[in-house]
Amino acid sequence: WAQATSAEKVTNAWSTSKVLVVLAYIDTVAGGDPDNLDDYQRSLIKRALTASDMDALLELRAGIPGGSGAPMTAILRSIGDDQTTAPDIREGSMYWSLRNQVRFMAALAAGEVVNKQTSEYVLDTMTPIDEHSWGLGTIGASAFKGGWLEPYTETRQMGIVDGYAGAII
């Protein structure tokens, strides 16, 4: 779905970066195994991915030893994204191209992000509340995450629709 040109638009990730924070958290804190998460950690992850709860995200991010930037960037590199670099704070302000978001979602759907079990857990959790069900949510996406900052900023989504990875701005 991401059609890019040599002048591909690269914009802020906004809350779509929450998916990366969650994956870095599971990878570093739970040893890459969602079965190692307790109920409270699972509730934080669900709130971060469904309601885009910033307090939950900040608590998850604070729990990553040594900061979230390096593990998030390592996840991106492991799936072939050599352009996006995640910071330790304000990850929503990182630049993430549509092409690389589609690459990320395709790898997640294929079970290649952290591992198959973690990829499946995150995809199963990425079902947003009704207020966030616009765009990909109106065309039957099985999993998606949106991101925006203010009404005047660009809004984006990434997700899976009928088995295909997609990203829109």
pTM: 0.93
Question: CA 84, CA 97: separation in Å to the nearest integer?
Answer: 8
Using CA atoms, how far residue 138 sits from 35, 134, 142, in Å, is: 32, 5, 11
Each residue's pLDDT tens digit, 71-114: 999 999 999 999 999 999 999 999 999 999 999 999 999 999 99
Per-residue pLDDT tens for 52-69?
999 999 999 999 999 999
Task: Please tell me the distance from the alpha carbon of residue 142 to that of residue 128, in angstroms, as a whole number.
Answer: 10
Q: What DSSP element (H or E) covers 25?
A: helix 18-29
What count of other Cβ atoms lies within 10 Å of the Cβ of residue 139?
A: 11
